[in-house]
Amino acid sequence: MKQNIGYQFHTETKYLREPYSAGAFERLRNQETIKRRPLDRTVALPPPDRKNGFPLYAVLNARRSVREFEDRPVSLEALSQILWAAYGVSFRAGDFLFRTAPSAGALYPVEVYVAARSVEKLNPGLYHFAPASHSLRQRYEGDLSPLLAEAALDQDFLAEASFNLILTAVFERTTWKYGARCFRYIYLDAGHIVQNAALAAVSLGLGSCPVAAFFDDEVNALVGVNPARESAIYLLAVGWPRND
């Protein structure tokens, strides 16, 4: 990708861990263990509810960042609803698919991945959300949440959440039109998506917490993307709030 000031900003604002920091070898070995058996398995999601739900103002009033979760699975139906609310298809015009979240130029540069730990009817693993078919494609098998928490500056609640959303950006989808300014639009797009998901979680009785502090290269390695083309930009932990 052509280097411009926007890409330079994205690169120079990354969190970087020292190459020889404590546990570096162990982290690499754990990542490679999970990625030893790459998969390409499609999981159909239950159809989302497009008409009902809690009143908007009540949901807005109840939204809080939750950092303590019960060790309790979330239903596949709830995951489906949150993914649709976050970035699902809301309208079809021929071959063009409009989403539930706005996007500059309707270019939709963001991709959504699910690191599932405890979801009913879904094996732990990393999945890619396909909005057009409202389905998941499994990339890797196994619980990535401890590694994700470690990559996110040891924010342990990510390892306790039932699942985590990982948002990445495919830069070239917007650079061709907007140049360096596209990076502003990409970050705004991610904010729209995460807010939709957070409000949907509240409507289902779940809690969530957005996370932007993470070692970029480690999260990119977990997802298996080339950071020159596609890079992690946002995380969202989701699960049942602990009410101690």
H or E element at residue 140: strand 135-141
Domains and CATH numbers, the chain: 5-239 (3.40.109.10)
Higher pLDDT, 243 or 210: 210
Tell me the mean pLDDT in the region 93-97: 89
Question: Would you call 244 exposed, middle or buried from its count of C-beta atoms within 10 A (0-12, 13-18, 19+)?
Answer: exposed
Instruction: List phi, psi (to 5°) of 135.
Output: -145, 170
Strand-pair partners of 167 = 112, 234
Instruction: Quote the pLDDT of residue 174.
Output: 93
The residue type of 69 is F
Global pTM reads 0.92
Report the chain's mean pLDDT, rounded to a whole number: 92
Tell me the mean pLDDT in the region 124-144: 95
**What's the gap between Cα 71 and its chain centre?**
20
Asked whether residue 193 carries a pLDDT value surpassing 70, the answer given is yes
Q: What band does 7 get if pLDDT is binned at 50, 70 and 90?
A: confident
